[in-house]
Structure 1
Amino acid sequence: MTAVEFEDVLEPGLEIIDAHHHLWGPGVPWEPSTYLLDDFAADLETGHRVTATVYVECHSRYRPDGPAELRPVGETEFAVAVAAAAAARGIATRIAAGIVAHADLTVGDAIDAVLDAHEEAGKGRLRGIRHMVAPPLHKPAEDPGLLRDPGFRRGLARLAAHGLSFEVYALQTQLGDVVAAAQAVPELTFVIDHLGGIFGLGELAGRHNELWPRWRADIVALSRLQNTYLKLSGLGTEYAGFGWHERRTPPSSAQIADETRKYYAHAIECFGVRRCLFASNFPPDRLAGSYRTLWNVFKRIADGCSRDEKAALFHGTAAALYRLSSADTAWATA
């Protein structure tokens, strides 16, 4: 471990709801490593005050058989089991207090039976559905066009009827389609992951500055739609293209904040603190640094915010969006 891993925790009393994390073991299609309850619990104990988390689907622990459309329900069952195990062990953080599951929205109206199965398996924790619309990450130009598909749009409408949100992971080159879909289904809450999918691999490698104006304009357009929220996350991954893991010395939270601040600042300016929320995206974002370092990054980004604004960004907006209780209710009266 380097000295950077042990930097002091900033504002240790600030309540955090980690609004986006994963847990996985062998079998996840794109990830050979393991990150399960023991790993996450160890990260949660590194100094920040994380009171609750939202588990987001990652193709983990699907049912091995049965109808294909119902196999993702196994992941919801897994997340609920992890939450129970964490509580039984006395872990203070309410892990998987909210769950965002996967369902194939291309089946349109037939999605109802799948959503009913997720809701039953979720035991009151199901809050949304994610169907990633990003193309294969090694081929960012090959947009599958799911957000324009009529069947997919019907599936989106059924989510709203079930009182669920739609979590969308799209690349920054697809944000125009996200805008169109959110306009087409105004009754549905859209939660846009990872700052709108900042990407910097393959043909987009080294083009952050070139892509900045288009991303900036798309974020403005998204923010004008009142049924959209934006997760302030995802810049620590390999996909974001900052090359954190390739550096000779791991970056400090101050270095990461300085190099990425313009994205966060623009997002918060456009969406406001009531529709933006910080989230770890662990374990993918650990390429940039430890769990402790990452939350220090976010606290540095929010350094100029008021107490009430910080409360919203770190836990209040997540509590409202995912219908979770919060240990600190000061944000609600801001």
Structure 2
Amino acid sequence: ETEWLQEAADRTGFPRGIVAYADLREPDVDDMLARHAEYPLLRGIRDFSYGDYLTVPEFHRGFALLEKYNLSANMSVQWQEMEKLRDLAGKFPNIKMLVDHTGLPAERNDEYFAKWKQGMVTAAKPDNTVCKISGLGMSDNDWTVDSIRPFVLHCIESFGVDRCIFGTNWPVDSLFSGYDDIVDAYTEIISDFSEDEQIAMFSRNSELLYNI
């Protein structure tokens, strides 16, 4: 897949960066990362592991290799695991960690929202974590600007403007809305921020993070 994306970029100029898959617990993960790194657009790794893996020694061994290859890590973690994510970020301060899909809020009720909020505050404590605000349609299929607004604004409040990036979760969220709907919603929600702050969250932070 990384080879295919690199070939597409060489041919069309798009994409400008690649976040590839790797199972960081595999014994041969160093070789796997080296093969990914042969392609110049590689910028990060997303490990789709689930369950209680953030404290597993095999995962830490593989995770440490991301610094060797100057790669970021996309982390699909819910609020229950945010303390472990915070500790992982503290152990590897030179590796940028993206909290994927807004911390994967799975429910829409006051009790869950309070727990999710605290989880995001915890995840934001290390300086090397970044919040990718995206994927809010996955658990709120009939979302509106007002229904996602509290999640977006809390992420920005917790991480700060310079550590938040917007994503569309395309094509998954195409099941629930149009591409323009998502971008327009983000734009409306952050309309009170300065133009420079909006540019940071929509593009500049990602450009700096991924060196593009």
Please, what TM-score do these two structures have when normalized by structure 2?
Answer: 0.94
Tell me, what secondary structure is at the counterpart of 1:117? helix
| 1:99-131 CA-partner distances (Å, limit 9, x unpaired) | 0001111136x42211110011x2x10001110
Structure 1 residue 208: Cα displacement: 3.0
The structural deviation recorded for 1:81 is 2.6
Partner of 2:9: 83
1: CA distance between counterparts of 2:129 and 2:49? 16
Q: How does 1:68-79 map to 2 (within 5 A)?
A: 75-79=1-5
SS of 1:167's partner is: strand
Partner residue of 2:22?
103
Identity of aligned residues (%): 33
How many Å separate the matches in 1 of 2:168 and 2:161?
A: 17
What is the Cα-based RMSD across aligned positions, in Å? 1.5
The 3-state SS of whatever aligns with 1:191 is strand
Q: Does 1:176 align with 2:176?
A: no
Answer whether contact 1:169 1:196 (CA < 8 A) is retained: yes
* Count of matched residue positions in the alignment of Structure 1 and Structure 2: 212
**Residue of structure 2 equivalent to 1:264:** 152
The one-letter code of the counterpart of 2:21 is H
Matches within 5 A, 1:1-334: 75-85=1-11, 87=12, 94-107=13-26, 110-120=28-38, 122=39, 124-134=40-50, 144-200=51-107, 208-237=109-138, 240=139, 242-244=140-142, 256-324=144-212
Q: Cα deviation per residue 1:57-107 (whole Å; 9 max; x = unaligned)? A: xxxxxxxxxxxxxxxxxx10121233234x1xxxxxx42211000111113
- C-alpha separation in 2, matches of 1:263 and 1:129: 25
Residues 79 and 120, structure 2, Cα contact 8 Å, conserved in 1: no
Aligned mates of 1:290, 1:313 — CA distance in 2: 20
Question: Equivalent residue of 2:19, what SS?
Answer: strand
Letter of the 2:68 partner, please give it.
A
Query: Higher helix proportion, which one?
Result: 2
State the secondary structure of the residue aligned to 1:146: coil
**In structure 2, C-alpha distance between the alignment counterparts of 1:208 and 1:83, rounded to whole Å:** 42
Residues 134, 167 of structure 2: 8 Å contact kept = yes
Structure-1 separation of matches of 2:168 and 2:5: 17
Q: Which runs of 5+ in 1 are unaligned?
A: 1-74, 88-93, 135-143, 201-206, 245-250, 325-334
Q: Measure, in 2, the Cα distance between the counterparts of 1:156 and 1:243.
A: 33
1:179·1:222 contact (CA, 8 Å) conserved in 2? yes
Closer/same/farther in 2, CA of residues 172 and 221 from structure 1, 3 Å limit: closer
TM-score (norm 1): 0.61
* Secondary structure at 1:106 match in 2: coil
Gaps of 5+ in 2: none
TM superposition shift of 1:282:
0.3
Preserved contact between residue 80 and residue 119 of structure 2 (Cα < 8 Å): no
User: C-alpha displacement at 1:243, in angstroms?
Assistant: 3.1
Task: Report SS of the residue matched to 2:32.
Answer: helix
